[in-house]
Amino acid sequence: MIFNINFLKTKKQKLALSLLFDLVHTEILFGGGAGSGKSLLGCVWLIANCFKYPKTRWLMGRATLKSLKESTLNTFFDIISKFELKEAIKYNQNSGLITFFNEAEILLKDLAYYPSDPNYDSLGSTEFTGAFIDECNEITYKCKEVVSSRLRYKLNEYNLIPKLLMTCNPAKNWVYHEFYKPYKENTMPHYKAFIPALVSDNKFISPHYIENLRKLKDTATRERLLNGNWEYDDDPNKLFEYDDILDLFSNYIESSNEYFLSCDVARKGEDKTVLMAWRGLEVLEIQTYPKTKMNEVADLINTMRMKYKIPLSNVVIDEDGVGGGVVDLLDGCKGFIGGSSQINTGSKLLNYRNLRSQCYFKLSDLVKEKKIRINADPSVRDLIIQELEQIKDCGDASDRRLAIIPKDIIKDAIGRSPDYADVCMMRCLFELKQEIDIDFYSYFAKL
């Protein structure tokens, strides 16, 4: 039986194959637009490896098994049919296992995030020789890391290195920050590679397909799928538009004589303690520290308070976890408990799942209205942009309450906690309290 990988015809596909068979790159991302031959590349690579290395085991994954079988797997069987290789494989639909004549295997896996399985224990202890994840922008960063940790099966026997091939369309999540941004800034680690591939690189695709992409009316979708523009996110649940986020760093806003301080205290792992000093709705200074003792955080807050003459009543600190101890040390400040009930703002009352959700929706309004300005150095600026793009509405229609996706899901998407976004969000506690004061005054003015 003969399988010839040379029928891959685009230059980008051939470049990807050269990296997939070298002894340097362990993580390769291919794509960036629709119609670039992403799934074809992945399936050809898996089939070639199964032919070449008997008794090896490979993973073919996607966010859901349904989408994997309806799309990627169809491409796989098209190739098998083209080369008349049906007798070379057996496919067990129930177990999702493809077995080759030489006992090499491809296992189909659902890689979606489920709250009941946050550590992806569903992958079990299975070891793989290599893996292909199609549309990796649909899975979490943690899932990618778990899959990478399982790539060790029969590597020494065949003098191989772990290989993870991922394909995707542009997305503003971990894929952007792990691959596209380092590629653009020429800071990619030596073991990673990103090969941008667009429909225009595929000279063998139907011109009607390209024309249909050009006719897409939604700008974000057209930019992503046709032009491979990574700066657009077409998720309808996002709270912050990309252009509005960029304007945060250049908005002209009204000056104020009132100063505030908001603080998120590091609780575990790689979380950071972040302090922001505000003049009205303008961030004057941002300080970031690794996990710090309670008394040290209190001292840092007092130092910033003295610098800007901020009263304790204008200080808000995340009271969950370690932050509760800091709140106790700074008697008179505001403790913020994200899971507590919303604040009743009178005539402006809406139904929110909790205070965190209410403050994020308020922050969204202020950002849209260009009422906030943030002064930050470029590295922090990029982190703020990344975090705000992950804040999304997850309200349940049956619940009838506005809600924001949990912090753990955001952390899985970008590989860290949204510390800077949370500090901006907590500042809105004072804006909500101001709304209460306004409604209270308006009520008695009518008497």
User: Do 263 and 419 meet the contact criterion of CB atoms below 8 Å apart?
Assistant: no
CATH number, span 242-444? 3.30.420.240
Pick among 2.30.29.30, 3.90.79.10, 3.90.700.10, 3.40.50.300: CATH of 7-225:
3.40.50.300
Helices and strands (H, E) in the chain, number of each type: 16, 14
Q: Is the pTM of this model over 0.75?
A: no
Q: Is 280 helix (H, G, I), strand (E, B) or coil?
A: coil
Amino acid of residue 113: Y
Is the model's pLDDT at 280 over the cut of 70?
Answer: yes
Q: Are the beta carbons of 72 and 62 closer than 8 angstroms?
A: yes
Give the integer Cα–Cα distance in Å for 360 and 403.
9
Average pLDDT over residues 327-348: 87
Residue with the two structure tokens 């002209």: 252
Whether the pLDDT of residue 7 is over 80: the answer is no
> C-alpha distances in angstroms, 391 versus 41, 179, 294?
33, 21, 28
Q: Give the pLDDT band of residue 447 (cuts 50, 70, 90).
A: very low
Q: Which of 190-194, 281-285, 407-411, 438-442 has the lowest mean pLDDT?
A: 438-442
Closest CA to 127 of 154, 103, 100: 154
- Give the lowest-confidence range in 57-71, 206-220, 309-323: 206-220
Structure tokens at 388: 């705000």
For 439, the 3-state DSSP assignment is: helix
Which range (119-123, 188-192, 330-334, 344-348) has the least confidence?
344-348
DSSP 195: E
Domain ranges of the chain: 7-225, 242-444
Helices (H), 256-391: 294-308, 323-329, 355-368, 378-388
Q: CA 403, CA 359: separation in Å to the nearest integer?
A: 10
pLDDT in tens, 243-278: 899 999 999 998 899 999 999 998 765 678 999 999
Return the half-sphere exposure (C-beta side, CA atoms, 13 A cut-off) of residue 175: 29
317 CB-near residues (< 8 Å, 6+ apart): 262, 263, 264, 265, 301, 323, 326, 327, 330, 333, 334, 335, 336
pLDDT digits (tens, 9 = 90+) for 368-383: 999 999 999 988 998 9
Residues 6+ apart with CB under 8 A from 285: 275, 276, 277, 304, 308, 375
- The model's pLDDT over 222-249, given as tens digits with 9 standing for 90+, comes to 766 666 667 766 677 889 988 899 999 9
Pairing of strands 273-279, 282-289: antiparallel
Q: What is the pLDDT of residues 121-139, one digit of tens each?
A: 888 788 999 999 999 988 9
Q: How confident is the model at residue 356 (pLDDT cuts 50, 70, 90)?
A: very high
The C-alpha angle with vertex 115 and arms to 114 and 118, in degrees rounded to 5, equals 80
Residue with structure tokens 């591939």?
197
Distance between first and last Cα of the chain: 91
**What does each C-alpha distance from 405 to 299, 305, 354, 393, 395 come to in angstroms?**
33, 32, 11, 6, 8
d(CA 348, CA 354): 16
DSSP state of 22: S
* Each residue's pLDDT tens digit, 69-114: 999 999 999 999 988 899 999 999 999 999 999 999 999 999 988 8
pLDDT given for residue 237 in this prediction:
85
Q: Is the Cα dihedral 33, 393, 142, 121 positive or negative?
A: negative
- In this predicted structure, the answer to whether residue 326 has a pLDDT above a threshold of 90 is yes
**In one letter, which amino acid is 300?**
L
Asked if 363 and 425 count as a contact pair (C-beta separation under 8 A), the reply is yes
Q: At what angle do helices 407-414 and 378-388 cross, to 10 degrees?
A: 120
